[in-house]
Structure 1
Amino acid sequence: MGKELSEMALKELWELFPIILKKHNTDYKEWYETEKQKLLSRIDRKDISRINHIGSTSVEGLIAKPTVDILLEIDNEINIE
């Protein structure tokens, strides 16, 4: 039987979950816009305080994990379900 994650050495964790950094991809902005539109189609705009592309993929020229991070702030009174 394998080890629990909490029992693994850092080297073992890196092998299981490598962090891959890539050159900036101009598609990141488009990926964000696509996901933003999906969110906006499912959440009433009046309930959204702010939505932003954040993290390293939002900075042109910066190497990054190819994962687009989105910060979505919603009104405290919204029924999240």
Structure 2
Amino acid sequence: MSTSREPRRPDVTEVELVGGAEALTVDLHSHDDRWAEVFGDHRDRIRDALAPADVRIEHIGSTSVPGLAAKPIVDIVVTVDDITAEEDYLDALLAAGYELRVREPGHRLVRTPARDVQVHVVGRDDPAVDDYLLLRDRLRSDADDRALYEGTKRALIGKRWDDTNDYADAKTDVILAIMARARGARGR
């Protein structure tokens, strides 16, 4: 059971993109069962780096959904007690070989130098975790929503994205609709 604590200090108030905006070429790959293995390797690496802290580590994003085409980037969410206490987790993740990419209110993102794994660090009680898992589980269990989401991503492939965030934003309406259906199904 998690206990909510007051943060040690105020969180950052602006988005810091280490290295600035990055262009993205969207390249979808058929689902690869090795993505689950990559997640498992990084889950262990993160758990070892952050021991003895009690952290939750989950595979999220398209690579966590069997049968779904995805960019070959494994996304992981890690929950920590206090996102503002970077000394409790950030140095350890950097020492484990990850690089800081984003520092923003309530969220830090580190990734591998090869950019094939992204680790989203959030506070233990952040509702984003439930949203990530709701979407993941819906896409795993509903073939129609999985096909809709993949079709949306394929429709966006041909565009050049000057900022990775613009690609993510272009999928928002579809993601929100899928999550609404998932909440409706869960409420039954």
Deviation string, structure 1 residues 10-60 (Cα, Å, up to 9, x no partner) = xxx9xx521100000010000000011110111024331x11000000000
In structure 2, do the counterparts of structure 1 residues 78 and 40 end up closer, same or farther at CA, with 3 Å as the change threshold? farther
The Cα shift of 1:80 comes to 2.5
1:80 and 2:86 matched: yes
In structure 2, do the counterparts of structure 1 residues 26 and 46 end up closer, same or farther at CA, with 3 Å as the change threshold? same
1:51 and 2:83 matched: no
1:39 and 2:46 matched: yes
Secondary structure of the corresponding residue to residue 51 of structure 1: strand
Between the aligned partners of 1:44 and 1:78, the Cα distance in structure 2 is 18
Stretches of structure 1 that go unaligned for 5 or more consecutive residues are: 1-5, 7-12
Report what 2:146 is aligned to.
Answer: none
Could you tell me whether the CA contact under 8 Å between 1:51 and 1:72 is conserved in 2? yes
1:66 and 2:72 matched: yes
Give the number of equivalent residue pairs: 68
Between the aligned partners of 2:72 and 2:37, the Cα distance in structure 1 is 13
Between the aligned partners of 1:59 and 1:21, the Cα distance in structure 2 is 14
Could you tell me whether the CA contact under 8 Å between 1:57 and 1:64 is conserved in 2? yes
Stretches of structure 2 that go unaligned for 5 or more consecutive residues are: 1-20, 88-188
Letter in 1 for 2:61: G
Point out 4+ residue stretches in structure 1 off by more than 3 angstroms: none
Secondary structure of the corresponding residue to residue 60 of structure 1: coil
TM-score w.r.t. the length of structure 1 is 0.71
In structure 2, do the counterparts of structure 1 residues 64 and 47 end up closer, same or farther at CA, with 3 Å as the change threshold? same
1:18 and 2:25 matched: yes
Could you tell me whether the CA contact under 8 Å between 1:47 and 1:78 is conserved in 2? no
Letter in 1 for 2:31: H
Letter in 1 for 2:64: S
Secondary structure of the corresponding residue to residue 25 of structure 2: coil
Q: Identity across aligned pairs (percent)?
A: 34
TM-score w.r.t. the length of structure 2 is 0.33
Between the aligned partners of 1:66 and 1:77, the Cα distance in structure 2 is 27
